[in-house]
Structure 1
């Protein structure tokens, strides 16, 4: 398993993001999907990573650093996705740990995310990793299909 920064405009990343888009579109209406596009994933304060198993891009994930005037800076986890035939191997956990380490290295002590109610595996992963449910944050509005979570990161 090799983790490395990923160009969101690369063919492998574009293919994986398209699979993620299709999966999310099958679960939720468009107004409940808050997907970061390749342009957003290529911004300076975003770390977009991929996990390679041999020559196969098995999964991807990103964290975006947000400077909130009221609550201070935090990292927002985005685009955690593992191809179905690579699931169950701990890839999502490894990616989350990598993104959290990236935040800690920058002195960011809070990680937040939004996920959906129809993704029990994701909810279980985030809860296992220490994420707690919270109210909507940033520009998000309350949505009965969304679950908002947060984790305090130790220094």
Structure 2
């Protein structure tokens, strides 16, 4: 079972998970590890009412309770559909993948963004992250025009949210 804990990116557990995320992305980055640009998220961007950062609590490899994933949403400039929030730093530890943790985390982030007033949820990704892109598309995200200049991104996706 997975539960959620509100956090800030500077929380010790969040920093550990973010370091795992950044290290894995750099190691697998198509242009090489030196080309990957690491961007540490700022607490102020992921604190209500501007956003939220979540830790996914599950079990580590030994079966003990542990933080096994993270992700956040933050408000960015409004888009064509109104208030726009961006999904950032979605990460699930390898041992917890293919168990629905990423899907559940995305659903919770979408719910939280809607609660904060989001009319649209957007994200950027790299074409090398095929499983992530497949997850996003299965959740209703579709390709949109680039909304930022993230040098790590090759694809931008968006999803309109229904008012709650």
Q: Tell me if both proteins adopt one fold, taking TM over 0.5 as the criterion.
A: yes
When the two chains are superposed, the root-mean-square deviation of aligned CA atoms in Å is 2.4
Equivalent residue, structure 1, for 2:56: 51
Contact 1:2 1:51 in 2 (8 A): yes
Aligned residues: 153
Secondary structure of 2:111's counterpart equals: helix
Are the structure 2 counterparts of residues 26 and 133 from structure 1 closer, same or farther at C-alpha, using a change threshold of 3 Å?
Answer: same
Q: Against the structure 1 CA distance between its residues 83 and 40, is the aligned structure 2 distance closer, same or farther, given a 3 Å change threshold?
A: farther
Q: What TM-score does the superposition give when structure 1 sets the normalisation length?
A: 0.85
| Deviation beyond 6 Å, 4+ runs, structure 1 | none
Cα deviation, residue 68, structure 1: 3.0
2:70 aligned with 1:60: yes
Distance 1:100 1:129 in 2: 10
Question: What runs of 5+ residues in structure 2 fail to find an aligned partner?
Answer: 60-64
Partner of 1:103: 113
Q: Structure 1: state its 5+ residue gaps.
A: none
Contact 1:35 1:78 (C-alpha < 8 Å) held by counterparts: no
Among residues 69, 74, 81, which one is paired with 2:91 in the alignment? Answer: 81
